[in-house]
Chain A
């Protein structure tokens, strides 16, 4: 079975982002960048399938500037076999990303594509679902468990999904798309020998045009601003004062 994972280079989750003073975006110069945390979970899941024999090839794909090669190298160091970079300086929207990934899927014919459920920069939570739609495949979104039944006459994945009220299990015909939620696994750190080995693995570079995809934007960002803040209130001495304030001052209990 061939597995494809999509990885995005984003501002590291520990960085407190700053909105640019001219309201055009978020300060990205000299900021630590990392693989989107949900995508790390996707890579880990693929690597585990590779290790337990259910997958024989794992391909990591990223879309973005040449710097996204670093993110692919991280996936290769974790255990992916090879990488594909769709290189562009444009900030791509989820629909455009999904179209590029669909074009890659048409060439590579994977049995399973795993993506993070959302990237922590745009917080869109769209790409996996859009990709599944474009390919006409089933979608197991917000997965906390994936079990494969990949045998003769039984090509399916059972995916446990994190839904608002609890958990839901769906059965999907392969090939399918899965997006990861937090509890699917705990991603590993790449070891130094594996980081060295990853340097020798191949990354194919192509452009959206090579894939025949029109990535022109459908939306315009008019401005990006700081959210309205909250001010710190008062410190109370004990539970008695807290209850008194909530009752007679805030009137919420």
Chain B
């Protein structure tokens, strides 16, 4: 069995989500990693060092500077033909993988299996449905399995220890139907939400976007990332890339602190696999307390400054 893993990167560095996806790939067979980008040789070299990776394919072309699915998906179809024998093609279930893989699957005439959180065999996978309120075990009868991987469900592969060969490949083609215009990335000194060891999130109880500075202050003391519930995003407090939940990001840090979050099903779907959950909410009946390891029933505007002061004492 052999698996092709689509690397996620920014042309300079390999994104951590790729490491979790490699782990899923290794459960299925030999892993080849595709690094498609522009001026991204360093990424290919990093991918070659990942423990367990057998081979790296490097497609370095200006067309791939931005990973447009319209150009990348047909290129991967070509690869599957040229290199033959890929039984599985995997990408992380990030916005990259979610955008790219269904396009690839349709071109291959394959029914993709999204956001797998478990592997039962070469053709059988477990995945959450209904916002994680049910787990489906699904068997694929397609020849090639196209999968996106819920990265919080798989440990990251070791970034060092491998010594795979790098093969340069070509054949990129601009289909001329889509073009990158611009990007506005949220600038933050804090760790990325999906890979942070500690996450502190605010909900509608925060009352305004300005009040998020209370969370940021604590985040900086803990080296944590800041997240938000869908309610806080809908209310316009913070932008959507903060959103933790079924319709946002799925996180599973060592410590998750939910502040002023009631605990709607859709939010729980995005954080309930965290190792330790803390809830701070003035409503003692809030459903969030049913999943929290530690609950603090207190007005957050009192609790957060106190928490901040206590953390100072600790250090």
- Residues of A participating in the B interface, judged by any CB pair closer than 8 Å: 11, 13, 16-17, 19, 26, 38, 93-95, 98, 118, 120-134, 136-139, 141-142, 144, 158, 161-173, 176, 181-183, 217-227, 230, 232-236, 238-240, 242-243, 245-247, 250, 252-253
Contact = CB atoms under 8 A, between A and B. Distances in A.
A176 B244 CA distance: 29
B94 interface: yes
Contact of B246 (A120, A141, A218): A120
B186 to A, nearest CB: 4
10 shortest interchain CB distances as A-B pairs: A129-B102, A218-B111, A239-B306, A130-B106, A233-B293, A133-B106, A126-B102, A138-B178, A169-B181, A243-B310
A19 B134 contact: yes
B222 interface: yes
B292 interface: yes
19 contacts: A94-B102, A123-B129, A123-B131, A126-B112, A126-B114, A138-B70, A141-B69, A141-B95, A164-B94, A182-B243, A221-B137, A222-B138, A223-B136, A224-B137, A225-B134, A227-B133, A233-B277, A240-B306, A242-B310
Nearest to B177: A138
Contacts of A94: 102, 111-112
B183 A240 contact: no
B179 interface: yes
A167 to B, nearest CB: 5
Contacts of B290: 230, 232
A235 B249 contact: no
Contacts of B180: 168-171
A129 B106 contact: yes
Nearest to A137: B177
Contact of A218 (B133, B140, B310): B140
Given A94-B112, A243-B307, A170 B178 contact: yes
Q: Could you say which interface size class chain B belongs to? A: 35 or more
B135 A250 contact: no
Contacts of B101: 129
A167 B128 CA distance: 26
A134 B70 CA distance: 11
Contacts of A221: 136-138
Contact of A95 (B95, B105, B176, B309): B105
A183 B181 CA distance: 20
Given A164-B94, A218-B141, A219-B140, A129 B99 contact: yes
Given A141-B99, A252-B276, A163 B183 contact: yes
A242 B255 contact: no
Nearest to A139: B69
B102 A173 contact: no
Given A13-B266, A220-B138, 19 more contacts: A95-B109, A95-B112, A122-B129, A123-B115, A123-B246, A129-B102, A138-B178, A139-B69, A141-B95, A142-B95, A161-B95, A165-B185, A165-B241, A173-B177, A218-B140, A232-B289, A238-B298, A239-B296, A239-B298
A125 B102 contact: yes
Contacts of B140: 218-219
B27 to A, nearest CB: 18
Contacts of A139: 69-70, 99, 103, 178
Contacts of B113: 219
Contact of B240 (A11, A181, A219): A181
A166 B134 contact: no
A118 B115 CA distance: 12
Given A129-B106, A139-B178, A123 B114 contact: yes
Given A139-B70, A167-B183, A236-B295, A121 B255 contact: no
B92 to A, nearest CB: 10
A173 B70 CA distance: 11
Contacts of A98: 106
A224 B277 contact: no
Given A173-B176, A236-B294, A125 B114 contact: yes
Interface string B139-156: 111100000000000000
